[in-house]
Structure 1
Amino acid sequence: MATSALPAAPAAASSAAVSALASETPASPSASSSGAAGGDAEVRTVLHDAQNFNVKHPLYNTWTLWFDNPSAKGTSAAKGGKDSWGEEMNKVVSFDSVEEFWGLYNNIIPPSELPQKANYYLFKEGIQPAWEDAANTNGGKWSIQLPREKSRADIDRLWLNTMLSAIGETLESPYDSSSPAASNTAEAITGIIMSARPNLYRIAIWTRTADESASGELDPALLNIGKHFKVGILGYQLNQQVGGGGMQSDVEFQSHKDSERKGKGRKFVV
């Protein structure tokens, strides 16, 4: 992605997000980028000049955005074809810097404007957004579903915060003193999903494992992610009950294998 063509990040969000995601010591600009800026060796980040910066802030991982809209006219799913999931999935772009993320974010429609049944999938490079991928087979997901009309005003902010937390790797940092050290939870998350449905929105965080202890409790590293999701992203209190029936669910974790059991699998609520 050519950085010279990237639009400016939203003013209210860019400073906080770039500061949170950027490395402590930005890399020195290359000779070619300095030359493109008129031979000036001055280091300019996106915070100094949103259009003519010459230093990018790298992310820890490269991420890929995927999109599908099974309800679109002419697709296999819209025609009622069997086993059509994933056939219409499109790889949009991969990015590995803060600046490229904002360039992408400013050029796609927000979740509140997605058509019914459309999905955004943001996964680490090399991981397909499917249960069958080796990185996801033994994993699970934290998820919440929210009533569409009641949540329309908030869903864009919630999805943005989920993306920033994922690519900034903050979901795997210790939530409190009882949480496992970050080194023990590294690479636990494989991707995140935003789904628009006729009556609801669903946000999910996919994990590489779905481990339980011998006593049947959820692995502390996975519980740690759920706490960050519920409190830091969604804005609920840790012990607050949010599932009220209907389209509103609790913040819950379920393994992919249990999800296939059509309501009979185990769920963990944070």
Structure 2
Amino acid sequence: MADTSDKSLTNSKDNKEQTNSTPDPELLIKHPLQNSWTLWFYKNDRSRNWEENQRKIITFCSVEDFWALYNHIEPSSKLLSGCDYSLFKEGIKPMWEDAKNNRGGRWLINLDKKQRINCLDNFWLEVMLCLIGETFGDGSQYVNGAVVQVRGKGDKIGIWMGDSTKGDCILAVGKRTPLGFEAHHDSMKKSGSTAKNRFIV
């Protein structure tokens, strides 16, 4: 009987040692991104001005932090009409007037409101992954961020570029998905909901 209890104690000690052991360091290392990114949320409150409606949510700099954020926010398809998510490089605000944006423009994906349920979340996720993964080739250095806008008539996803004169780099970004490119300067002068496209791919 003593032998049996001694074996039990030995097994119990072995289990405690395995439980208290240090985890594999590979599991603790975060995968850094080339740039830090900030998520913004815009809610249209008519009692406030546009800048007051734009709220900075969080800045992240690793793949793991991106997924932690993505898995804990409302999907874009569930946002109320008039709301936006914006994902921009840290230090750049999601507005035309920002010094990094005012000479730029945006590639635009227009979605019919019927596409919101089936397409919007997937398109927005793909765009965000292209942003944080810097997968736009030569154009990546000129990509400042992206915005998803939920509206009653239809939704938009815009990929914002910092310089509307860099045609080759703009086209490198646009070739990743079917888009039309609008310069911010042209958008400010538009009379309808869209401006004339400078580039189409």
Normalization by structure 1: what TM-score? 0.63
Letter paired with 1:65:
L
Deviations 1:192-249 (A, max 9, x none): 001000121100000010016xxxxxx111011001132xxxxxxxxxxxxxxxxxxx
SS at match of 1:161: helix
User: Contact conserved, 2:180 with 2:197, CA < 8 A, in 1?
Assistant: no
- 2:186 pairs with 1:225: no
Matched positions, count: 180
Please list every run of 5 or more consecutive structure 2 residues that lacks an aligned counterpart in the other structure.
1-18
Aligned: 1:127 with 2:92 = yes
Contact 1:188 1:208 in 2 (8 A): yes
Work out the percentage of aligned pairs sharing the same amino acid.
Answer: 38
Paired with 1:43 and 1:266, the residues of 2 have a C-alpha distance of 50
Higher fraction of helix = 2
- For the residues of structure 2 that align with 1:112 and 1:266, how far apart are their CA atoms? 26
**Kept in 2: contact 1:119–1:195 (CA 8 A):** yes
Which residue number corresponds to residue 269 of structure 1? 200
Q: Which has the larger radius of gyration?
A: 2
Paired residues of 1:189 and 1:208 also in contact (CA < 8 A): yes
User: Could you tell me how far apart the structure 1 residues matched to 2:68 and 2:91 are?
Assistant: 21
Provide the rounded CA distance (Å) in 2 between the counterparts of 1:142 and 1:186: 13
1:200 maps to 2:154: yes
- Assess if the C-alpha contact under 8 Å between 1:189 and 1:206 holds in 2: yes
Q: What CA distance in whole angstroms lies between the structure 2 residues aligned with 1:56 and 1:38?
A: 22
- SS of 1:63's equivalent? strand
- 151-160 or 135-144: which moved more? 151-160
* Structure 1 residues 38 and 61: alpha-carbon distance in aligned structure 2, compared to 1, 3 A threshold: farther
Query: Could you tell me which residue of structure 1 aligns to residue 40 of structure 2?
Result: 66
Q: Report the Cα distance in structure 1 between the residues aligned to 2:165 and 2:92, rounded to whole angstroms.
A: 20
RMSD between superposed Cα atoms in Å: 1.9
Check if 1:191 corresponds to 2:165.
no
The match for 1:96 is: 61
**Bigger fraction of residues in strand:** 2
Residues 149 and 199 of structure 1 are in contact (CA less than 8 Å); yes or no, is this contact kept in structure 2?
no
- Counterpart Cα distance in 1 of 2:86 and 2:128: 10
Secondary structure (helix, strand or coil) at the match of 2:186 reads helix
User: TM-score, structure 2 length as denominator?
Assistant: 0.83
